[in-house]
Amino acid sequence: MGRRARAHRGALALLLAGGMLITGCSAGGTNDESATARGGGARGPVSGQPAPGAPGGARQKEDGAREGDARKAAPPDYLSTFALDVDTASYGYARRTLGDGRLPEADTVRPEEFVNSFRQGYARPEGNGFSVSVDGARPGTGAAGWSLVRVGLATGEAAATGERPPAALTFVVDISGSMAEPGRLDLVRTSLGVLADELRDDDSVSLVTFSDEAETRLPMTRLRGNRTKVRDAIEEMEPADSTNVAAGVTRGYDEAVKGHRKGAANRVVLLSDALANTGETDADAILERIGDAREEYGITLFGVGVGSDYGDALMERLTDRGDGNTTYIGDETQARKVFVDQLPAHVQLRARDAKAQVAFDRRTVQRFRLIGYENRKVADDDFRDDGVDGGEVGPGHTVTALYAVRLREGASGHVATATVRWQDPGTREAHEETGSVETGALGGRLWGGDSPRLQVAAVAAYFADTLRGGDLPGTPSLAALASRARRLATATEDSAVAKLATAIEQADRLRNGAREEPPGTEGEIG
């Protein structure tokens, strides 16, 4: 079991038993937050990390460092290190909650998952590995002296369906009483039925259901000649009693290990509202089982959340431990996107234990703030420790990290170098790729500039910041954000951006209905 996982078993135990969204970088003498791994620290007000003036000796050391070696390129005060995250569940659940006429709880809002829900159009690498893009712009009014810096990482596109390795998928389906609500078990049945038609003949599936106890409905079965049998098992699922997540996950992993196929993409897919109320409450059994299967058999966990009431935090912690990711489906359109467009192509991995480290230059940067990723922090010293968990990334994925960066007055030159490190899923060989940005690339205006995808990322981040009550420099009003999102939806011809605009408008109405706002309290970006 990795160091990070051991540190957080107690935190997950509390979840099963029962402020600010901008984080500063980890510092050499104040590395507490960074040492708290993904899912560890409590969220709350965290100031951006100041960058003190550079002593001559340290500058000389920087000048002599090789390009891309983030550890040598800057002292710890200037390093920001985190595990990559391709989760999107937080944004999907926020949309569902807003559509139901409620504002999402602040602790369910993770800005990186809002940002990573949208296409960014980064250049793709040739072959395996990552491309690294770094750019930015000035937000304008209300953020004097600040720039928004975007670090974009992308993997190559997925292989054609016939070229990928076969998949061995174990579906673990929550059939507790809470899943009887429309949009839960009925949506799961529809989704799995569609997926059964999309998978290849040489793919295999098994089906486990759980309520107060777990039951194997279908052992690992090849789809060739058995599609009717698989569909019948799916259609026979009906809601029952309590939610014993521990029993379901443990039985699911038992089936995944029994049906493990060498050379295949072996994955457990957990579909649940994650509202655990029965069974193992200290979470040790779940964590141990997930961790052992991941380390010995390479089985990863994909979490799919459903329902208007959803245990977002529990699902996130489970998938973090299982080296997987989470998403949320609220309707058949989202379900089709996940189970038809994404899952069949993305069952394979392109990178294991992927981490990013951004080294800011003390000569040009006075202060910086990473937007989100609180649950993904990695200690700076662990960046090149391949025994420390990172994130798992599949083909065709992009990961975006946004920073609010305050440059020193009159500064010019190098601003930051971003390095991504990952292991090959098959050989476990470590690789790195870097990208950098200069002050000249940050001089343009964010709004009205020539990078609509950067603007979409900014809108998503500012929206999440507002929902969590943060104070990101330059945050516009919700009304202004909605207006910008509408214009961007037209410019990009992207329906996902139009849905973002709708969500912001819903949040604006709910906020105005909840309390009377004094005029002029929210800053408009020009």
Residue type, 459: V
299 with 434, same domain?
Answer: no
Asked whether the predicted pLDDT for residue 413 surpasses 70, the reply is yes
Q: Are residues 181 and 212 in the same domain?
A: yes
Q: What is the pLDDT of residue 162?
A: 59
| pLDDT tier for residue 127 given thresholds of 50, 70 and 90 | confident
Distance CA 74, CA 61 (A): 8
10, part of any domain: yes
pTM above 0.85, yes or no: no
Q: Is residue 376 located within the same domain as residue 270?
A: no
The residue with greater pLDDT, 486 or 71, is 486
Average pLDDT over residues 351-372: 96
φ and ψ at 120, to 5 degrees?
-120, -15
Query: Which of 345, 472, 355, 346 has its CA nearest to residue 402?
Result: 472
Task: Classify residue 466: in a domain, yes or no.
Answer: no
Q: Tell me what pLDDT residue 316 has.
A: 85
- Looking at residue 214, the DSSP 8-state letter turns out to be E
Domain boundary among 450, 479, 509: 450
DSSP 212: S
In a domain, 374, yes or no: yes
- At 374-391, the pLDDT tens digits run 999 999 999 999 999 899
In our burial notation (b when 16+ CB lie closer than 10 A, e otherwise), range 431-443 reads ebbbbbbebeebe
**Same-domain pairing of 184 and 74:** no
pLDDT at 16 over 60: no
Identify whether 525 is part of a domain: no
Query: Are residues 30 and 131 both part of a single domain?
Result: yes
Q: Give the model's pLDDT for residue 71.
A: 42
Please name which of 384, 426, 349, 510 lies closest in space to residue 79, comparing C-alpha atoms: 384
pLDDT of amino acid 204: 96
The answer to whether residues 13 and 127 belong to one domain is yes
Q: How far apart are CA 189 and CA 208, in angstroms?
A: 13
State the number of CA atoms in the 13 A half-sphere of 84 facing the CB: 31
| Residue 325: per-residue pLDDT | 87
Residue 492 lies in a domain: no
Both 176 and 152 in one domain: the answer is no
Q: Alpha-carbon distance 388 to 421, whole Å?
A: 12
Residue 426, both tokens: 């098959």
* 418: its two tokens: 């971003």
Residues 152 and 255 in one domain: no
User: Is residue 471 a part of any domain in this protein?
Assistant: no
H or E element: which one contains 321? helix 312-321
The number of distinct structural domains making up the chain is 2
Instruction: Please identify, among 433, 450, 467, the residue that sits at the C-terminal boundary of a domain.
Output: 450
CA–CA gap between residue 324 and residue 87 (Å, rounded): 9
- Kindly list the distances between the CA atom of residue 98 and the CA atoms of 102, 129, 509, in Å, as whole numbers in the listed order: 5, 37, 10
- Residue 20 contacts residue 44 (beta carbons within 8 Å): yes
Q: Are residues 151 and 195 in the same domain?
A: no
**To the nearest whole number, what is the mean pLDDT of the chain?**
82
Domain hosting residue 80, numbered range:
3-86+111-158+351-450
Q: Give residue for tokens 């049998």.
A: 229
Q: What's the average model confidence in pLDDT over 140-154?
A: 90
Q: What is the Rg, in whole angstroms, of the alpha carbon atoms belonging to the chain?
A: 23
Q: What confidence tier does 283 reach under pLDDT thresholds 50, 70, 90? A: low
Range with lowest mean pLDDT among 46-60, 127-141, 485-499: 46-60
What digits encode the pLDDT tens for the residues 432-461? 999 999 999 998 999 988 899 999 999 999
Rounded distance between C-alpha atoms, residue 65 and residue 268, angstroms: 43
Query: Residue 105 domain-assigned?
Result: no
How are beta strands 22-23 and 391-393 bridged, if at all? unpaired
Per-residue confidence (pLDDT) for residue 251, from 0 to 100: 94
Higher-pLDDT residue of 210, 3: 210
- Per-residue pLDDT at 30: 32
Confidence of residue 402 (pLDDT cuts 50, 70, 90): very high
> Taking residues 217-232, what's their average pLDDT?
96
pLDDT in the model for residue 83: 96
* Residue-level pLDDT at 160: 62
Q: Quick one: tokens of 444?
A: 């343009």
Q: Is the pLDDT of residue 197 over 60?
A: yes
Number of residues that make up the chain: 526
Domain boundary among 424, 450, 476: 450
* pLDDT band at residue 188 using 50, 70 and 90 as cut-offs: very high
Mean pLDDT lowest for which of 47-61, 100-114, 160-174?
Answer: 47-61
- The 8-class DSSP code of residue 331 comes to S
Q: How far apart are the first and last CA of the chain?
A: 50
| pLDDT tens profile 242-253 | 888 888 999 999
Confidence band, pLDDT 50/70/90 cuts, at residue 31: very low
Do 378 and 326 share a structural domain? no
Residue 434 counted as domain residue: yes
Count Cβ atoms below 10 Å from residue 478 Cβ, excluding itself.
Answer: 22
CATH assignment at residue 213: 3.40.50.410
Residues 362 and 430 in one domain: yes
pLDDT digits (tens, 9 = 90+) for 320-353: 888 788 999 988 888 888 888 778 766 778 898 9
Share of the chain above pLDDT 90, in %: 56
65 and 118 both lie in a single domain:
yes
* Chain mean position to CA 393: 10
Whether residue 291 has pLDDT greater than 90: no
pLDDT at 279: 59
| pLDDT exceeds cutoff 50 at 25 | no
